[in-house]
Amino acid sequence: MHQLVERDESQLRELVNARSTWRAFIEAKRESLQVKGSMVWKDVAGHTYLIRKSAAGGQRSLGRKTPETEVIYESFQRRKERAATRLKAMKQRIEEQRKLNRLYRVGRTPNVVVRALAALEAADIADNFMVIGTHAIYAYETAAGVMVDSGAMATRDLDLLFDARRRMAFATTLEKSKEGSLIRVLQKAHPSFRFMPDQLQTAVNDDGFEIDIIRRKAVAPEDPHPMRMSDDENDFRAVQIDQGAKIASARKFDHLVVAASGEMTMMRTLHPLDFVRLKLQLSKRPGRDPFKAPKDRLQAEVVQQLWQGYLHLLERADSGQ
């Protein structure tokens, strides 16, 4: 059995507070997005029309000015004002919670990891990626409310599996973003990220931390490889891995993670039992680096212990059992 350190009462309390605060913040963002853009009255050929303007600049008419469209206009304005007020308040609450997270040392996830995932979320492309490898354990331990021995967690790279099945939707969203390329999105987490020489699947920052973009094996002519992540010639090329298809189709596990700085974001990764299964397979794979295989087994054992001691209870609670 591996040592799992129980968090103290104050840390557990702030973890609960952090989760509820984050959920309320996400709901406030969702409400704000529903009323993004504006509604205005516009005179055309002697008549007044209600025009809905999108944030991207598109316009559509909701009809002539009538008692019904006036109600629509007033309702929209009230909803927009309420949403803006609530979102502003929740941003303040998030900052207060960040300070409490830091004060009580709630966060263990590396700052750069949380900031990278937050940057993906801000660009609205987070759902296209899944954290695999060592950093997934931070989501599991946070969900369990314990701390895993650092020996199982030591790593200087973040592996992000890109879901190649969503390539077209991803490309459209990224093109519309302010950054326009994946490398520029991730530079929001740390401006010094740059590509390794002749390794466009890997970006490294000045602290020596690496981010790798990986994908499943190409399966059809319309599934190109190498796959450039945007139209930018200087963007990531996702590298293929043999287990990519299995990982992409595995069960997902989403949970809040907290950085040492107190910053928070959601991490999407593998279901703990799928993590265990894939790590054990990897440890037994012919040709696996003999220095990495023992760590694969160690991580599988640790996550299995987290599952048996804590996480299976959360899954049963979530399913209402």
What distance lies between CA 74 and its chain's CA centroid?
35
285: left (phi over 0), alpha (psi -120 to 50) or beta: beta
Compute the distance between CA of residue 41 and CA of residue 280 in angstroms, rounded to an integer.
63
**What separation in angstroms does the CA of 295 have from each of 2, 151, 161, 301, 321?**
13, 9, 20, 10, 34
Amino acid in the structure at residue 228: R
The beta-strand segments (E) located in 177-313 are 194-196, 199-204, 210-215, 227-228, 237-240, 252-258, 264-270
Contact 27, 87 (CB under 8 A): no
Residue 79 contacts by C-beta under 8 Å, 6 or more apart in sequence? Answer: 31, 34, 35
Q: How far apart are CA 15 and CA 6, in angstroms?
A: 13
**What is the separation, in whole angstroms, between the first and last Cα of the chain?**
28
Ranges of each domain in the chain? 1-105, 107-283
What does DSSP assign to residue 109? B
pLDDT tens, per residue, the chain with 321 residues: 667 899 999 999 999 999 999 999 999 999 999 999 999 999 998 999 999 998 878 899 999 999 999 999 999 999 999 999 999 999 999 999 999 999 999 999 999 999 999 999 999 999 999 999 999 999 999 999 999 987 788 889 999 999 888 888 888 888 888 888 999 999 999 999 999 878 899 999 999 999 999 998 877 666 777 788 998 888 999 988 888 888 888 899 999 999 999 999 999 999 999 999 999 998 998 888 888 898 999 999 999 999 999 998 876 656 554
What are the C-alpha distances in Å from 281 to residues 157, 272, 291?
Answer: 21, 14, 16
